[in-house]
Structure formats: structure tokens, C-alpha cells
A and B are shown apart, each in its own frame.
Chain A
Amino acid sequence: MEKIKNVYELAQLKDKYQKEFEEIKLRVLVCAGTGCVAGGSLDVFAEFKRLIGEMGIDVDCELDHEDSCAKGVKVAKSGCHGFCAQGPLVRIEPADILYTHVKVADVEEIVKETLLKGNVVERLTYTNPMTGEKFAKEHEIPFYKKQLRRALANCGTIDPESLEEYIAHEGYNGLGNALIKTPEEVINDVLASGLRGRGGGGFPTGKKWQFTRIAEGDKKYIICNGDEGDPGAFMDRSVLEGDPHRVVEGMAIAGYAVGADEGYIYVRAEYPMAIKRLKIAIKEAEEAGLLGENILGTNFNFSLHIKEGAGAFVCGEETALIASIEGKRGMPNPKPPFPANKGLYGCPTVINNVETFANVPMILNKGVEYFRSVGVPNNPGTKTFALTGQVANTGLIEVPMGTTLREIVFDIGGGILGNRKYKAVQIGGPSGGCLTEDHLDIQLDFDSLKTVGAMIGSGGLVVMDEKTCIVEVARFFMNFTQNESCGKCVLCREGTKRMLEILEKIVNGKGTTEDLDLLTELGETIKDGSLCGLGKTAPNPVLTTMKYFKEEYLHHVENKICDAKVCAALKVYQVNPSKCKGCTRCARVCPVGAISGKVKEVHSIDVLKCIKCGACASSCAFDAIEEV
């Protein structure tokens, strides 16, 4: 694309691309997010192109070709539609049809029936696993119906590798609007919008910008934190893969507002597709004069670099991330000084999360009021969540702040798999907390969650059902944080190790009641004695589960019973009296003499002596020994 000279030219381009975009009669969008690609969506995409070409349908005209596709069909790869478990997904616009689990062999039927005749291929539409109800139109599917996709508006709708499509969807309009304001006005807009950092803490974004703006220094930096290390969260990945220009635009606006001319996007190396699409987006933006020098004919200069992370969870902490960009071990530093005063290479630095930047263009483009029109007081706007675990519809969702957990799990998520009982949701990954049945009606926003000891964190929601052992999950998180502790603070380094040991003891059936007190004490101490967010929040999963599932912990240590029957060491073998013939075989094979009983009488197992080896069960000819 040629350099866009000024804001007016950008507006003209938008009109032109929009018009061209509207003229496309049919668009076939094949999801090319990581999830669907894994399911073979790229082959589906190739098959569409091949078949449509073969059949001579006017197709695949690029948007930037003049007088092109007045009657065409466009096949495009899109970013993540969010409904990952149903992939590969194919969406037909403007008919709003969504096909799920599409395979190469299905393409011919879609082309013949839907593209040529306008019929819906029933068997490929979404079926509600609970009710068997079928939905052809995407917006009617319960998973989408309750969502409000704003930050994700373009994800799955546009081709992430096309700047033209982004511009056609009012892309870079926010930057254009920002550049005709003063930097202070831009900051005031962001302040007035009430946007709070989507990375977890919920700090007002406008304030961060203001601090950086007034900090002394000629050189300032913008950093986008895309080190999404929380297991169970993938919203940053989806935004970067599905709408990379939005993040680039948000960062450029921030650069203008605080007076920075350089920015870094820190992305996990585990997200190769996000890195690839960002590289394309940055190159396109540079060519179009939306990055680089004299952006849109003004004297604002801004350049962007990508930094690939090398795998360290603690780098999600801002001071550690800065150390990592500088080429050092990613260990956190004490705050203050805050990055706003002394950040990258000692210069004032704004560091925001991917989703935060993705919200910024909307505020400048559609206005503060639009942004504030949803959400709850003090927590305006929307929030994306990664909904995973034992729920029927897993995927990436976006809802207004303040939506209740019940709406998310049961309406959008479609309830628990296999109609089992809801147990808890782990929110915010290893630093978050768990929400029980009592919390189902809690509003998900920064302030409400704080009152129950949880936090939004990165926005991962892992749903657990009655078959999940809460103690084992706590052990799992502790294992994670213990591995990821950078080792700087003694309490975090050693304390998480000790907590993990105790939890392992408990799931192995060797825990005592005193261990529970020790866990609480250690947890509180680690929170107090750690420098960064990792240590301060590492005990959260243990502390909150101990608070809400005390019974389950007590069962583990006192009765040596795992209610969910997950912990192998706590399995209990019992003799079913109606099946036992009293053959004495089990008593003979038991290596510890835990089975007693007379010949031809029902035997019994001494639970305290039993070592759970299972020898009795496998030797019994009558299946009389059962695991409970």
C-alpha cells in the first residue's frame, strides 16, 4: 500500500475499502487461529480456493484491486472465532452461517449448496450437546448470543493479514482522531473512559499514561505485555492472531499520548502464529505510513519491535519483562521506581497488556461514551475470558464487565459436560482464586472479585466439576508457581517448595491436620515476603480452596478419602458383600494381611492396613472388590 499522507486520505481510503467490502456478495471465512489450524483448517481453506477456482465462480479478488469484485465470493483466512472446541470453523457472510468441525471432504457440499444455492448444510451446523438443538446462524448460538464482542469485534471477521480490511472496519481511525488532538486531550479521553488495565491488576490506564507523560526524560518507551503465561488463558494470543493491527494502533496512540517514539511487543515464543501475523502487520503499517516517521503527515514518529519471550512465567511481571527485553535474566525489581518513571533502559515506560491496547482505538474512534455504555460503575467496558475445563462450550469469549459467573458458565458455556455437578471455577490462573457455587451470582469485575479473595488476573476461567479434586488442583498450581519462581525472594523460592511438599504429602494420603495450619501460615508469609506479583499471589489457589473447601482438605488428611476419587493413594478398596463368595483368595494374595474373613463368609478389608496395591481386586474371580 502506498503511504497515506494525512488523516483525510485515511478517511477516503476507509470509504473506498468499505464500499468494496460491502460489494462482496459472499465471504467465506475459514478460521486460522491456532486451534482450528490444529484441526486442519488450512487444508479446508486450500480446498475452498481450489474448488471455487475450478468451478469458475468469480472469487478471491483482493480488496485493493480496482474495479474488482462486484459480484465476487471472497475466501479469507480469519483470526480466532473463539469457539475453539468446535473447530475447524467456517463462517459464511453476510448470511451469518457458522459451520463447525469442517473437513476437507465437506467443502464441496458447502460450495454447491450454500455458495451456489444459498442452502444451509444442516449436518455441519452447531448442535447443542445438552439439548440436541441445531443452530445455523452464528448469532443465535447461545455461546455467541450473550457475548458482546468489542475488543474482539474484528477477530474472526476480518483477514488479520490485510491492512485494507482493517481500515475498512474503521481501523487507524482512532489514531487519526488522536493525532488531531493534543497528547493531553488523548490522555484525558482515556482517563474519562475509565479503562482499567486488562492484564489483571485493573490499574487505570489513563493514570499510567499521565505519569509517564509528566516523567522527565527525552526518550520514552511503550511496551505491550503479551507474555501470557497463565496456564488456561489465551485471549492475548487470539487478539494478536486475529486482529494484530488493533494492538499496533493502540500502541501508536499511547506513544503519541506520552511522547514515546519507540515500542516493544513482548510475545511468548510459544505463540509463533501471533509473532508471524504481528510481523506482517508492522510491515504493512510501516509501508502505509502508519508507523515510522511523520505518521499521517504529522511530526509524530513511532517504530515498533517484536521481542520473543524465551519461556519464563515471571516475565509477565512488568519489571521482570523489562529486564528480559534488556537481555537479562527476567527477575523483578522493587517498585518504586515504577516503570512510568524508570522503565526500559532507565527511561519512562508505559507497559500495558495486549487487551488493554486493543481497547484503546475504540475509545478514540467511537468516543468515551460508547466505551462507557456497557459494564458496571468503576469497571466500564468489556472483558475477554478464556473459558475452559469441564464445560460444554470451551473457547474465547467477551462479555460486559459485571456479567455474572452463572451467565458465563451456564448460558455461554452451556453448562457442565455430561450434566455433572458444578464444583468451582478457578479464575485468574495460578495467582487467582476459586469461586464456588455460592459465588455463581457474583459479578465478574475487578472490585467484586476482590471482595471474595479472587482476581480477574489474565482472565482464564477453568471450570471444574465434581470429579475434580480440589486439593490436587491446588497442588497442580503450587507445582506451577514453584517451578516458575525466579528465586530472587527467599520466601517465594523456599516457601512455595515447602507448600508443594505438604500438598504432595496430602494427596499421597500422608497429611495431618497440623499440615493444614502450616499451609495457611506459609501462605500468608509468602504473600507478605515476596517482591512481585508471582510470589504475592502464589498461595492464593491454596488459601482460597482451603477457605471454601475445608471439608475436602479435612477428608484428605483425617479420613484419607478423596471425595472426587482422583488421588490414587487415597483410593479405598471395599468388598461387595453381595458378590463375595468367601473363597479366601484375596486374603491370601494381600501382601500386608489386611483382609480377614472365614471360608464361605464375606471378607472385609482393613482400610488402615491396606496399601492400595490392588492385588485383591485383580485376583478376585467374582469382581467383588470395588474401588470407592
Chain B
Amino acid sequence: MTSSSVPKAQRSFEKVNEIVRKYEAKQSALIPILQEVQEEYRYLPEEILTYVATALDISPATVYGVATFYAQFSLDPKGKYVISVCDGTACHVRNSSPVLNAIKKKVNLPDGKKTTDDLRFTIQTVSCLGACGLAPVVVINEKVYGQMTPEAIELILDQLMKEEGDN
């Protein structure tokens, strides 16, 4: 991870220390610790994984193994807006794929990438958000949008980009 957004030297470990202390450096708390770290940094920077390993007295390989096992963890920086498109069965049979394509096109997502170059949007698919009655479903950060169509999501993104511009 050579191109992380904040230079290593500037990164403060204070927050990480606080999180580790909160869980009393328990090895069994590795997952909640990583969850809070990710909430803080929006991803799991490599040097922090090593730091957590040392603090918990486990090997960096163990921490890396857990960080790469679960879908929630990201080793790359995530965008400001995380757009999750549900591709569970119910959403799939109610045409979630065109919605996903519309989003990718709208935010100009480069092929094969999950996050736009300006770090504004991360697009991911998830297996099920449990809102199948509203299929297809899109979640932007924590807000749930149901019964989506390519046209509807475009309007929502327009609005979002406009607000973003205003700020």
C-alpha cells in the first residue's frame, strides 16, 4: 500500500490505542476492533493492521487473515459515499443489474475498480440487505432506497452530487 492518502509519518495511532484499550486488547475482540478502526479511517491501513497485531500480541498474518476474510473489511480507501447495491435473489430477479450499471455510469466508475478516482463514491454489491420486500434495494451510506429503477437512482445521485457541490 504505497499510495495511501495520508503519509505514514503523519498517521496518529492515538485513536487506535483508544479502541484497543476499550476492548482491553483481547484477542477475541479483533473483529470489533477492526470494525471500529475501519469506521475511523474508512478502510484498514496496512500499518495499522500490524500495529493492532502487536497490541493484541498476535501475528500480523492472523490479523491480515481476518481482515481479508470478511466482506465488510476493505484494505483500500473507501469513498465518502458507499453505495451498496443489493444483489440478493429477490433483488436479482427484480432486475438489480441495470440499476448497478446505471450507478457505475453515473459516477464514472473506472472498469475493474470499486472506488472513483476522486474518492467520492465506492460502489459495491451485497448479497442481501434483508429488505427484499422492497426489491431492488440500494443503500447509500446508511440510507435505504427501495424499489429502485435506473431512472430513479439517477435522480437520487443527481441530488446527492448537487448537495455535494453546494457544500
| A463–B97 alpha-carbon span in the complex (Å) | 18
Q: Does A1 contact B (CB under 8 A)?
A: no
* Smallest CB separation, A163 vs chain B (Å): 25
B88 CB contacts on chain A under 8 angstroms: 231-232
In the complex, what residue of chain A is closest to B29 when comparing beta carbons?
A327
Contact with A along B23-65 (1 / 0, CB 8 A): 0001111111011000000000000000000000000001001
| Chain A residue nearest in CB terms to B65 | A329
The answer on a CB contact under 8 Å between A34 and B130 is yes
With A310-B35, A327-B29, A389-B90 known as contacts, the answer to whether A38 contacts B71 (CB < 8 A) is no
Q: How far is the CA of A325 from the CA of B62 in the complex (A)?
A: 15
Is A230 interfacial (CB 8 A cutoff)? yes
B127 close to A313 (CB less than 8 A): yes
Determine whether the beta carbon of A35 is less than 8 Å from that of B133: yes
Would you call A464 an interface residue if the criterion is a C-beta within 8 Å of the partner chain's C-beta atoms? Answer: yes
B89 within 8 A of A: yes
Q: Are B70 and A38 in contact (CB under 8 A)?
A: no
Are B137 and A480 in touch, CB under 8 angstroms?
no
Known contacts: A35-B146, A272-B142. The answer to whether A234 contacts B131 by CB under 8 A is yes
In the bound complex, how far is the Cα of B129 from the Cα of A229, in angstroms? 9
Q: In whole Å, how far is B74's beta carbon from the nearest beta carbon of chain A?
A: 11
Q: Which residues of B112-167 are within 8 A (CB) of A?
A: 126-135, 137, 142-147
Q: Which residue of chain B has its CB nearest to the CB of A237?
A: B130
A324 within 8 A of partner (CB): yes
By CB atoms of chain B within 10 A, which of A229, A270, A429, A484 has the most?
A: A270
Hey, what's the 0/1 contact readout for A373-400 against B, CB within 8 Å counting as 1?
0000000000000101110001110000
Specify which chain B residues have a CB less than 8 angstroms from the CB of A229 in the assembled complex. 127-128
Q: Given the complex of chains A and B, what is the CA–CA distance between A464 and B35 in angstroms?
A: 37
- Please determine whether B27 and A35 come into contact, CB atoms closer than 8 angstroms: no
Could you tell me the distance between the alpha carbons of A473 and B92 in the complex, rounded to whole angstroms? 9
Q: Chain A: which residue is nearest B126 at the CB level? A: A270
Q: How far is B72's CA from A324's CA once the two chains are assembled, in angstroms?
A: 13
Interface flags, A193-237, vs B, CB<8A=1, else 0: 000000000000000000000000000000000001111111001
Residues of chain A within 8 A of B131, CB atoms compared: 34-35, 38, 84, 234
B53 CB, nearest partner CB in chain A, Å: 12
**CB–CB A231/B69 < 8 A:** no
Whether B69 lies near A329 (C-beta < 8 A) is yes
Given known A310-B35, A327-B66, contact A233–B72 (CB-CB < 8 A) = no
Name the residue on A nearest B28 (C-beta). A327
Partner of B133, one of A313, A395, A430: A395
Within 8 A of B (CB), among A434-487: 460, 462, 464, 468, 473, 476-477, 480, 483-484, 486
Of chain A, the residue at the smallest CB distance from B58 is A327
A326 within 8 A of B: yes
Asked whether any CB of chain B lies closer than 8 Å to the CB of A347, the reply is no
Identify which of B30, B72, B134 contacts A311 (C-beta below 8 A). Answer: B72
Question: Which residues of A from 115 to 144 have beta carbons under 8 Å from B?
Answer: none
Q: Are A327 and B31 in contact (CB under 8 A)?
A: yes
Q: From known contacts A85-B134, A327-B27, A327-B30, infer whether A310 and B127 are also in contact, taking CB-CB under 8 Å.
A: no
CB contacts (< 8 Å) of A250 on chain B: these are none
Distance (whole angstroms) from the CB of A84 to the closest CB of chain B: 3
Q: Does B81 contact A (CB under 8 A)?
A: no
When chains A and B are docked, how far (Å) is the Cα of A270 from the Cα of B147? 18
Query: Is B144 within 8 A of A34, CB to CB?
Result: yes
Q: What is the bound-complex CA distance between A312 and B67, given in angstroms?
A: 12
Say yes or no: B30 contacts A232, CB within 8 Å.
no
CB atoms of A468 and B72 under 8 A apart: no
Measured between C-beta atoms, what is the minimum distance from A326 to chain B in Å? Answer: 5
Q: Which of A272, A310, A328, A388 contacts B73 (CB 8 A)?
A: A310
> Which residue of B93, B137, B146 is within 8 Å of A473 (Cβ)?
B93
Across the interface, A389 reaches (CB within 8 A) one of B31, B71, B93, B127, namely: B93
A330 contacts across to B, CB distance below 8 A: 69-70
Q: Are A37 and B69 in contact (CB under 8 A)?
A: no
A486: B residues at CB distance < 8 A: 69
Q: A84-B133, A389-B93, A396-B133 are in contact. Are A311 and B70 (CB under 8 A)?
A: yes
The answer to whether B146 and A388 have CB atoms under 8 Å apart is no
**A310 proximity list for chain B (CB < 8 A):** 31, 34-35, 70-73
Question: A151 to chain B: closest CB distance in Å?
Answer: 17
Docked CA distance A269–B137 (Å): 17
Q: Does A361 contact B (CB under 8 A)?
A: no
Within 8 A of A (CB), among B80-111: 87-94
**Minimum C-beta distance from B136 to chain A (A):** 11
Question: In the complex the two chains form, what is the Cα distance from A53 to B91 in whole Å?
Answer: 40
Q: How far is the CA of A271 from the CA of B139 in the complex (A)?
A: 12
B164 to chain A minimum Cβ distance, whole angstroms, is: 22
Whether A460 contacts B144 by the Cβ 8 Å rule is no
Whether the pair B28, A480 counts as a contact (CB closer than 8 A) is no
- Residue of chain A at shortest CB distance from B89: A232
Cβ-defined contact, A480 with B94, below 8 A: no
Judge whether B72 and A462 touch: CB under 8 Å.
no
Determine whether the beta carbon of A270 is less than 8 Å from that of B93. Answer: no
Closest CB in chain B relative to A43 CB, distance in Å: 13
Nearest opposing residue in chain A for B62, CB measure: A328
Known A-B contacts A326-B28, A389-B90; the reply to A480 vs B134 at CB < 8 A is no
B129 proximity list for chain A (CB < 8 A) = 34, 270
| Choice from B89, B133, B134 contacting A476 with Cβ under 8 Å | B89
Q: Which residues of the partner chain B approach A231 to less than 8 Å between Cβ atoms? A: 87-92, 127-128
Q: Which 7 A-B pairs have the closest CB atoms?
A: A84-B133, A231-B88, A311-B71, A310-B70, A38-B144, A388-B90, A234-B130
Given contacts A232-B90, A237-B130, A388-B90, list 13 more A-B pairs with CB under 8 A.
A38-B144, A39-B146, A85-B147, A229-B127, A232-B89, A234-B133, A307-B31, A308-B32, A310-B31, A311-B126, A329-B65, A394-B90, A477-B89
A-B contact pairs, 9 of them (CB 8 A): A38-B143, A231-B87, A231-B127, A233-B128, A269-B35, A307-B32, A310-B72, A324-B31, A327-B29
Interface of B toward A, CB cutoff 8 Å: 26-32, 34-35, 62, 65-66, 69-73, 87-94, 126-135, 137, 142-147
Chain A positions within 8 Å of B, measured between CB atoms, are 34-35, 37-39, 83-85, 87, 228-234, 237, 268-272, 307-313, 324-331, 386, 388-390, 394-396, 426, 429-430, 460, 462, 464, 468, 473, 476-477, 480, 483-484, 486
